[in-house]
Structure 1
């Protein structure tokens, strides 16, 4: 289709089977390069948490894992929901794994020990997903570098002003957001390329000539950072047009440690104007251990949940919850000797008795009870909305719980259930914030009605008794 769906049911990215085949084919040609170490980085707009499955139930995540992509850079959310919108994906063949639905932290824990030191053993299938800030609103820019297979990046915020000098450390990698379990496996099995570990390296961009580049390593074990190494970095003379590469030799084995956050790296650059620029202080782990970083609730909500896979489980949970609220009290009212009422609640106060009393009083109001049950059946089997579906108008369509049912503009071909699971932004809030609260409010009103009805009955009997006694 040449046009998109109207908001708010246009929340997800919808890769087609044709696009999946093209991506798979393009990545496959690099897999066939035997004997060459090739770093693959993919770019896209939507994060994988808001990318739907294709019609044949293929996902971008599975394609990236299949071809061992190093990183997937995306936008859409940018930095509106937090600064740690990053996620480490790793293959998990367990059918009952919860990772298909959600991931609690930035780093995905492997289902089993992935260390395999056999010669030519396949590395773990994994990749990083890094959300990017946007330039239009946040004036944010990201520089990505590939250094002997190690992928690193630096986010730059131009809202605080222009940058005369930019420093991007390329090795060792940040143990929070850049390390992979394959690096830990290679280091433990001594399969890594020692040459890539023997120097500290950085990439420097500057408008003025550089006079000094110094790397410093801090040890945080004493409690406060203590500088334990300071060395001058030397410029690599290479024919490159963007940035200068600086390196300094070090004994990387001296920094092996079981803690991924013990040692921290910072690089200082001084130009001919005497201006000093410091890189961000970053933790590193030469033996490839990743520091555990937790999301905030907002970050988990937008990055940790795989909403395409979660839509129907949440939907049917809401349906069964509503059916339970309606049918269980009705069953108890009809078939059980124990009845719940205001008198029962007064004699045995408690939350369960209160809920049972309220819902049973709703069951006694047959019009309301059958009305809610009929409305639920309608929502499951009938259209919810009717209107113009596309952004530029066109034919009308109607929305069901499974998506929009529309026709193309020539009215010849139907597109069944497009916009799924985008419709969850309408369906799920309606269930949880409209239908369920309405049932509870109706039950509370029915309970209030029974209280006043009982009080009125008692008052009426007392008045009749008084009149009878006064008549005597």
Structure 2
């Protein structure tokens, strides 16, 4: 069996150096902002049907000028036809990436381009600039040490900043004839703008959540008319963390009876539309409240725009891809799609005998009609209803209306009856809406969730990170300590060597499957120097800093990254550091733990286990060495003496060296796996160097050097001995 080889002295010295190495100092300071401030705006509205436009994830880039140009041209022209009451820009206004997209930085040119683009949209779309509301996304805070600083260009070039609406919470009230509609915008970006990639989550505070709750309650208490509430932000709830005391927005939204939460962030590459229906119990009784969460894909690549309407409390929307100018758009505001209704069945349900449709077009609309189809009767037409424009002194109401007998369409099934609207414009062009199910009784038919929708939008990634992290650490600890304990107890009985040799020497058919796992683990953990090195390394990763880098800007001070997040030394507060960006660091920690640390441990075990087998094979080969030598002597007389001797000596030496290092096919497979793990590790390090600086990351032994040193030392120490 393999003997326990000592760990090379340089490796022990490096481990000692890691433990004694002091972290670099930093003089970085943060400027806290008021994370509970609220700015209030109010606008009059003609009638009781409101509609707004939402765009998200513009990613205006200095290297992709067509994004801003298309935004000004396409969105500006679309707004001319839509004439919305509000335009909501829900974050990630600029791209904040270099040309190679390897690092993040704030570029003032991109913000200037955004300001000019908004001015062009105002000119082309005819929308009042005061009705445009923009909020930050994570890209808008990349590398911003604190809000209000010289790198916080949102505070200079955003629409909200130009109109002095820099509060974290924007409260916008649309006041109709007999109803009011509240749109509440929340900026949940980090107060300290960590650079890419560790900046993925919204980070509300207890103070902000309480302010949101208070503002929603205030608007309810001070409204003289029924009020419908819609909240918008950049981050989905699945990518929003809990506050310091574990509070979350979902309970506030349910308690305050909001209708919908609008967001962006995830882009259409994941899905053009991600949705989630939140239903929560808000009292000790069985009283439940619900709201919808609707994500909008990006403008960046997909050119997506949403039109959302509220018709006397009923919320509906339609999404458009603006690859070209907006054509005629049809949005049925009532009856709403039963698959996305924001109202539960209730005894207070009020049946409405009307159909309302918003039609947005650059052309004059000549004719509008609605058809009702019965899905239980092969989708045959049940009724065709002509719609008429609603008379109004305002040109802002492209609303068409018809009366019908809603009692006719009572049904226990929320998807039996389907509605489709047909439009004829002045050019003779016919346009039809998508067929959608409806329920006059307010019954809902929530569609099945695609698995990707569930994984990305319904899994709470703050909690999932903890599950994945703790599972990995638990597996790693078990992998380290279980075989060591087994080997300790087996060795005490003085039977390990005999047991291992007897089973290895037996035919393969007689070997039990569980033996391979037990033997593999125990043989891998036999080397005390390597085992203790791995234990110390894992403990370091759990408690000590992984690496240092410029976390807030290219020229910012050095900060430390731990498993629990970035540590920013707030010397002005007399603290050694506060942990930020947790669980944002999951994009760094999870790949490293799963793809590097665990494979390194398994491969080191494998190399030592393979060496034990190689020793056994070597002992068997020596039994036949004499016979092979005799056969070689008999055949040697057929070759000239000197050339044959030199050739044999050279060949034997080369073969011996190859066998020493590479061994058999098992060792070659292990070495190949080591190379693959090394390549993955170097790729991860390269990405971090691009993001946070090459020198600090490269000079961080726990992250950069240790996996390579451990694998290299294990490969060296498990070489076969020379014959």
CA distance in 2, matches of 1:345, 1:62: 64
Asked whether the 8 Å contact 1:84–1:295 carries over to 2, the reply is no
CA 1:225–1:409 in 2, change beyond 3 Å: closer, same or farther? farther
Write out per-residue CA displacement over residues 249-276 of structure 1, whole angstroms, 9 at most, x where no aligned residue: 3333333334333332211111122111
Deviation at 1:169, TM superposition (A): 0.6
Give the aligned partner of residue 162 of structure 1. Answer: 325
CA 1:239–1:346 in 2, change beyond 3 Å: closer, same or farther? farther
CA 1:413–1:361 in 2, change beyond 3 Å: closer, same or farther? closer
CA distance in 2, matches of 1:167, 1:150: 16
Give the aligned partner of residue 193 of structure 2. Answer: 4
CA 1:409–1:269 in 2, change beyond 3 Å: closer, same or farther? farther
CA distance in 1, matches of 2:582, 2:230: 28
CA distance in 1, matches of 2:604, 2:435: 58
Deviation at 1:151, TM superposition (A): 0.7
Write out per-residue CA displacement over residues 354-396 of structure 1, whole angstroms, 9 at most, x where no aligned residue: 3333222212233333332222111112111112221253321
Asked whether the 8 Å contact 2:282–2:289 carries over to 1, the reply is no
Deviation at 1:433, TM superposition (A): 1.3
Give the aligned partner of residue 555 of structure 2. Answer: 393
CA 1:434–1:206 in 2, change beyond 3 Å: closer, same or farther? same
Equivalent position SS for 1:170 = strand
Asked whether the 8 Å contact 1:345–1:354 carries over to 2, the reply is no
From 350, 369, 384, the equivalent of 1:193 is 350
Give the aligned partner of residue 335 of structure 2. Answer: 172
Equivalent position SS for 2:414 = coil
Give the aligned partner of residue 234 of structure 2. Answer: 45
CA 1:7–1:287 in 2, change beyond 3 Å: closer, same or farther? same
Asked whether the 8 Å contact 1:395–1:407 carries over to 2, the reply is no
CA 1:71–1:372 in 2, change beyond 3 Å: closer, same or farther? same
CA 1:275–1:345 in 2, change beyond 3 Å: closer, same or farther? farther
Equivalent position SS for 1:207 = coil
Q: Identify unmatched segments of 5+ residues in structure 1.
A: 95-111, 115-121
Give the aligned partner of residue 450 of structure 1. Answer: 612
Deviation at 1:239, TM superposition (A): 3.5
CA distance in 2, matches of 1:343, 1:60: 64
Larger radius of gyration: 2
Total equivalences in the alignment: 433
Write out per-residue CA displacement over residues 151-194 of structure 1, whole angstroms, 9 at most, x where no aligned residue: 111111111x2223211011222222x224x432x1xx2x1123
Write out per-residue CA displacement over residues 108-167 of structure 1, whole angstroms, 9 at most, x where no aligned residue: xxxx996xxxxxxx6x222111111333432221111111110111111111x2223211
Give the aligned partner of residue 357 of structure 2. Answer: 202
CA distance in 1, matches of 2:453, 2:530: 40
Structure ranking higher in helix proportion: 2
Alignment RMSD: 2.9
CA 1:157–1:421 in 2, change beyond 3 Å: closer, same or farther? same
Deviation at 1:28, TM superposition (A): 1.3
Equivalent position SS for 1:335 = helix
CA 1:343–1:162 in 2, change beyond 3 Å: closer, same or farther? farther
CA distance in 1, matches of 2:285, 2:386: 39
Equivalent position SS for 1:142 = strand
Q: TM-score, normalised by structure 2?
A: 0.55
Asked whether the 8 Å contact 1:345–1:357 carries over to 2, the reply is no
Equivalent position SS for 1:73 = strand
Asked whether the 8 Å contact 2:254–2:280 carries over to 1, the reply is yes
CA distance in 1, matches of 2:554, 2:570: 13
CA 1:303–1:350 in 2, change beyond 3 Å: closer, same or farther? farther
2:383 paired with 1:229: yes
CA 1:344–1:245 in 2, change beyond 3 Å: closer, same or farther? farther
Write out per-residue CA displacement over residues 406-454 of structure 1, whole angstroms, 9 at most, x where no aligned residue: 1248685554111111111111221111112222222332232222111
Equivalent position SS for 1:69 = coil
Give the aligned partner of residue 422 of structure 2. Answer: 268
CA 1:351–1:31 in 2, change beyond 3 Å: closer, same or farther? farther
CA 1:241–1:435 in 2, change beyond 3 Å: closer, same or farther? same
2:291 paired with 1:134: no
2:428 paired with 1:238: no
Give the aligned partner of residue 379 of structure 1. Answer: 541
2:344 paired with 1:183: yes
Q: Identify unmatched segments of 5+ residues in structure 2.
A: 1-145, 148-191, 631-723
CA distance in 1, matches of 2:455, 2:409: 36
2:219 paired with 1:56: no
Higher alpha-carbon deviation: 74-83 or 351-360 = 351-360
CA distance in 2, matches of 1:393, 1:374: 33
Equivalent position SS for 1:125 = strand
Asked whether the 8 Å contact 1:395–1:406 carries over to 2, the reply is no
Deviation at 1:33, TM superposition (A): 4.5
CA 1:391–1:467 in 2, change beyond 3 Å: closer, same or farther? closer
Q: TM-score, normalised by structure 1?
A: 0.83
Higher alpha-carbon deviation: 34-43 or 309-318 = 34-43
Write out per-residue CA displacement over residues 229-261 of structure 1, whole angstroms, 9 at most, x where no aligned residue: 222122221344324222233333333334333
CA distance in 2, matches of 1:440, 1:55: 38
CA distance in 2, matches of 1:206, 1:82: 27
Give the aligned partner of residue 216 of structure 1. Answer: 371
CA 1:32–1:113 in 2, change beyond 3 Å: closer, same or farther? closer
Asked whether the 8 Å contact 1:405–1:415 carries over to 2, the reply is yes
From 58, 69, 88, the equivalent of 2:277 is 88
From 208, 219, 229, the equivalent of 1:19 is 208
CA distance in 2, matches of 1:344, 1:408: 65
Equivalent position SS for 1:179 = coil
Give the aligned partner of residue 483 of structure 2. Answer: 329
Give the aligned partner of residue 268 of structure 2. Answer: 79
Deviation at 1:348, TM superposition (A): 4.8
CA 1:261–1:440 in 2, change beyond 3 Å: closer, same or farther? farther
Equivalent position SS for 2:420 = strand
2:587 paired with 1:432: no
Asked whether the 8 Å contact 1:395–1:408 carries over to 2, the reply is no
